[in-house]
């Protein structure tokens, strides 16, 4: 029997790609492939396409919707450029994919508490707690030299798990 795989994609240059099998086991994880450009970075579309082709068999790809808010114009432009590169690649490769709003997948794992006016809820910390509960033996490090979890990998895994639980 073939089970569906779920591939979560955390949008952005510091995002990641994580695949789960139909039982929720992490089978693949990597940082978002990027190239250095003159003044910054951009999605490496060729490497991204190669990863999609590698993971495509019986998989559904879930991409986090790009945000309409950002600390700056350049960051917002970069996020939407990355989002366009990824979604265009998925369309061209004719794979099954869907979008998910950040708040939608986050509600699967925690309830956002009401915070005082001058404080913000730390979704990255909440995501790491949720991922550590679901996959207690999984390390979310971007490389062997890292000591702290890669936020993009954590989010991508939870995006995939949200899709798996929702039966997307």
d(CA 54, CA 143): 21
Main-chain phi, psi angles of 61, to 5 degrees: -100, 130
**Pairing of β 41-43 and β 16-20:** unpaired
57 burial (CB, 10 Å; 0-12 / 13-18 / 19+) is: exposed
Give me the pLDDT at residue 69, please: 65
Region 24-52 average pLDDT: 93
Task: Classify strands 16-20 and 26-31 as parallel, antiparallel or unpaired.
Answer: antiparallel
Architecture of domain 5-166: 2-Layer Sandwich (3.30)
Q: pLDDT tens across 60-74, in order? A: 999 998 877 666 677
Residue 78 pLDDT: 80
Question: What is the predicted pLDDT for the residue at 1?
Answer: 57
* Segment 17-32 mean pLDDT: 95
Based on DSSP, count helices (H) and strands (E) in the chain, helices before strands. Answer: 5, 7
Residue 101 has pLDDT above 70, yes or no: yes
Kindly list the domain boundaries of the chain, sorted by start residue: 5-166
Which pair of tokens denotes residue 149? 């979890």
pLDDT tier at 167, thresholds 50, 70, 90: confident
The pLDDT tens digits for 72-95 are 677 777 888 899 999 999 999 999
CA distance 162 to 152: 15
């Amino acid at each position: 029997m073939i089970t569906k795989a779920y591939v979560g994609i955390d949008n952005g240059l510091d995002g990641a790609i994580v695949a789960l099998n139909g039982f929720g086991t992490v089978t693949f994880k990597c940082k978002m492939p990027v190239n250095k450009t003159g003044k910054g970075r951009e999605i490496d579309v060729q490497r991204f396409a190669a990863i999609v082709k590698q993971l495509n068999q019986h998989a559904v790809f879930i991409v986090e919707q790009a945000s309409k808010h950002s600390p700056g114009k350049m960051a917002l432009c970069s996020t939407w450029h990355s989002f366009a590169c990824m979604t265009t690649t998925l369309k061209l490769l004719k794979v099954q994919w869907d979008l998910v709003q950040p708040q939608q997948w986050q509600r699967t794992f925690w309830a956002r508490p009401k915070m005082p006016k001058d404080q913000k809820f730390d979704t990255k910390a909440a995501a790491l707690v949720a991922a550590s509960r679901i996959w207690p033996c999984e390390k979310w490090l971007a490389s062997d030299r890292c000591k702290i979890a890669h936020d993009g990998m954590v989010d991508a895994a939870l995006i995939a798990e949200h899709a798996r639980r929702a039966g997307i």
